[in-house]
Structure 1
Amino acid sequence: MNTTAKPSPEVLRDRLIDEIVQNRVAGLYDPRVEEAMRAVPRHEFLPAVSIETAYANEAVTIKDNPAEDSLPFSCASKPDVVFFMLVQLELGPGDRVFEIGAGTGVNAAYMRYLVGPTGRVITGDIDSAVTAYARKTLDATGYGDIEVLTRDGALGAEELAPFDRIIATVGVWDPSPAMQEQLTPEGRLVIPLRWRGLTRSVAFARQPDRLLSDSVKMCGFLPMIGQDGEHSGYVNDDHLIRLFWDDDQPIDPSALRTAVSQPGTVAWTDTTVGPAESFDGVWLRLSATEQTTCRITVKPAAIDVGLHRPAIPALSPALVEGDSMAYLTLERITTEEVAEPRFRLGAAGYGPAGGTLAERLCAQIRAWGSARTAEPVISLFPAGTSDDQLADGSLIEKPSARMVITF
């Protein structure tokens, strides 16, 4: 019989926050956010899972999606991502904040702690089952004064605006007018912004003519329901190779059927990485320089029959033009006996223009290699802003915003 006592929720919570603070995955820290996450009992917002699961540094699904190759409908976000996004938000005592995506309610509770007794927290979700869940957990944990609204978060809450802060805990492809206009003149917006197949938590400060980023960090979030500007499709009928692209990109996956059935070519660079070193900045640079940038997902069966392995098979950047494509790849360049392996980065090309696309991708690998920690500046201008009023950089058109990325 095992009589070893299990750690208490408080001990497990402190261990989790200790890990987050020590690792600082996005390099961001605020002692007030640490205090809030130590004070709020996350496990009480996840009563259906074990205490150990509640305090693991992992996302927890609270509503599944039965469709093939689909993400869940709703999740509790990874705690370390919650931490750095709250740091990006820069909440202060007395702030009024609107959250898009109610989730379990725990993020609203953290924010309630941060804004203090004179602040106000409103959280909303388009799914009535999600808002009912959040309302129940918030009431049960002593946060009954947090307002929970069932509505499309992209519309904001005009009757309660303006807000000092707005945060989204769902992936936003099109930053709506409400996200831009319902902020105070000195307000901040933090959203998991989606473009060209990638997602970044971007913190924006409101300027007179635009929203201007001051922090861009890697993250992953479920997409916001009702934003239909992202598309996906399989290259062939066996569903082993899938592309993800934006509404403004003329990409047809089926045009690549012939290309992927033939041997490809690989171009290599001298840029190398270690096993724990992120090279995700390559994707960011591609999105700012190549209008054909998208995402490729490859299942192991495709690699088993000869397709070059993408750098990360589940999500790697690709360039697609007509019947040709190239995507990021890597290979080990040290022997098995070396304790700290190194990998060089390159690009695999397919189709008539595959070699040219691979070389263009390699050019951005090299640019990243010489400035690995550089973050772009992202400007969101209202739709309809004239070209002469835009910042210098690469322009990506969204229905509600003109997005400019500048390195």
Structure 2
Amino acid sequence: MTTITNSPETLRAAMVDNVKAAGHATSPAVEQAMRSVPRHAFVPEASVEDAYADIAVITKSASDGSALSCASVPTIVGMMLDQLQVQPGNRILEIGAGTGYNAALLARLTGPGGSVTTVDIDPEVTAGARRALGATGNERVEVITRDGSLGAQENAPYDRIIFTVGAWDLTPAFWEQLAPGGRLVVPLRWRGQTRSVAFVREGDALVSDSMELCGFVPMLGQEGERSATIDRGDLVTLYWDVDQAIDTEKLQDVLDQPKQTSWSGVTVGPYDSFDGIWLRMSATASGTCRIAAGKAAVESELCTPAIAVRSPALADHDSLAYLATRRVGDSVHELGAIGHGTYGLNLAAQLSDQIAGWNENRDALPALRAYRTDVPNAALTFEPNVDLGQIIEKTESRLMINLT
């Protein structure tokens, strides 16, 4: 008798075991939902092995090959459901219908006494989600084709709102439709990074209580991030927000100027995450942005960021510094910064100081609050007894972030 080892049930069990090993799906309810809902039924064009692998399954792509819709990586799904803290009977709004898989998990978590509404701007995506939800017995999930930034007022207020697309801004709809004390989980972009932020509604403020690194297909229609190359070969790109006084015309060819380095003395091993440095920088330095270097730029040593495709940088007038590493032992690297331009050494030293500050408590998270732009300035407050903080202005919201 032959034992079938790649059945959907076996693969699904292994998927959830992997999610838990990564430190997610920590609540019994989330674990049971992920063990029960058949992910392969929501990605029928993928192999059953890919359906249960820890990868994003792309379901729709643009002409340039970029993803327009996908089933998110299972570990990220489990992480965000932990952040959302769904309770039986909750009314839930999802922005980004995707394949319908996440809505099915939400329906399982809220139970028959609750409700799930999922919204997507793409009618092809909503049609596919509706089919998959119907085929898996989730007809109670309401699927709406609409710009997600508008939410779904007809079923509000919601106890929980979750985005499964990357958002640069938060529109007034989410203050209007989230109940007092409700939770909002959103992959939010600022200063070149994306964090899955769990907010709790406290009056006019959305107050964060957790932030996790992630990456998502961006929400359409939010154009608050800018990008430009800063070298003659168009190999190195800088990303920044519209509220920042960064002029890439002044930074053209800055990388051709001599390198000026500042090494922090802080070391990391092969499995140590250092993305918290970026988060800390965004709370303390107005020039924080993202730098991305192509393969040719790295190989020629024109630009060698710690992580080539995404590393934090500091920009000021005609000068730039970015996070870098150097090997100091077997599988051990020292963190530091490489600067260029008039103030390059100063910026590199500032970034190196940020590394040292992060190293004092690597698990510390800044306090993050979100407000509508029409909230009076007098109502905006940083955490008490804290001097360092940044206000990040977006089109329809503002973020206040500071160290605690």
Residue identity in the other structure for 2:23: R
Q: Distance in 2 between matches of 1:95 and 1:262?
A: 57
Measured after TM superposition, the shift of residue 237 of structure 1 is 4.6
Q: 1:123 aligns with which of 102, 107, 118?
A: 118
| Aligned equivalent of 1:242 | 237
| Aligned equivalent of 1:363 | 353
| Aligned equivalent of 2:401 | 405
- Asked if the contact 2:84/2:184 (under 8 Å) is kept, the reply is yes
- Asked if the contact 2:284/2:402 (under 8 Å) is kept, the reply is no
Q: Distance in 2 between matches of 1:377 and 1:223?
A: 24
Percent identity of the aligned residues? 49
Q: Distance in 2 between matches of 1:168 and 1:349?
A: 37
- Asked if the contact 1:236/1:254 (under 8 Å) is kept, the reply is no
Query: Is 1:48 paired with 2:38?
Result: no
Q: Distance in 2 between matches of 1:253 and 1:73?
A: 29
Residue identity in the other structure for 2:355: I
Q: 2:377 aligns with which of 373, 382, 387?
A: 387
Q: Distance in 1 between matches of 2:244 and 2:66?
A: 23
| Aligned equivalent of 1:342 | 332
Q: Distance in 2 between matches of 1:39 and 1:21?
A: 15
- Asked if the contact 1:216/1:376 (under 8 Å) is kept, the reply is no
Q: Distance in 2 between matches of 1:121 and 1:239?
A: 45
Paired residues, number = 396
Query: Is 1:233 paired with 2:231?
Result: no
Taking a change above 3 Å as real, the CA distance of residues 256 and 329 of structure 1, as seen in their structure-2 partners, is same
Q: 1:72 aligns with which of 54, 67, 71?
A: 67
Comparing 390-399 and 283-292, the one that deviates more: 390-399
1:206-355 to structure 2, matched below 5 A, reads: 206-334=201-329, 338=330, 341-355=331-345
Measured after TM superposition, the shift of residue 166 of structure 1 is 0.6
After superposition, the C-alpha distances for 1:332-355 in whole angstroms (9 at most, x for unaligned) are 100xxx4xx211100011111111
Measured after TM superposition, the shift of residue 264 of structure 1 is 1.3
Q: Distance in 1 between matches of 2:174 and 2:46?
A: 33
5+ long unaligned stretches in structure 2: 383-388
| Structure 2 length-normalised TM | 0.95
| Structure 1 length-normalised TM | 0.94
| Aligned equivalent of 1:144 | 139
- Asked if the contact 2:231/2:253 (under 8 Å) is kept, the reply is no
Which secondary structure does the structure 2 equivalent of 1:213 belong to? strand
Q: 1:36 aligns with which of 33, 36, 41?
A: 33
Give the CA RMSD over aligned residues: 1.5
1:93-112 to structure 2, matched below 5 A, reads: 93-112=88-107
Q: 1:176 aligns with which of 154, 157, 171?
A: 171
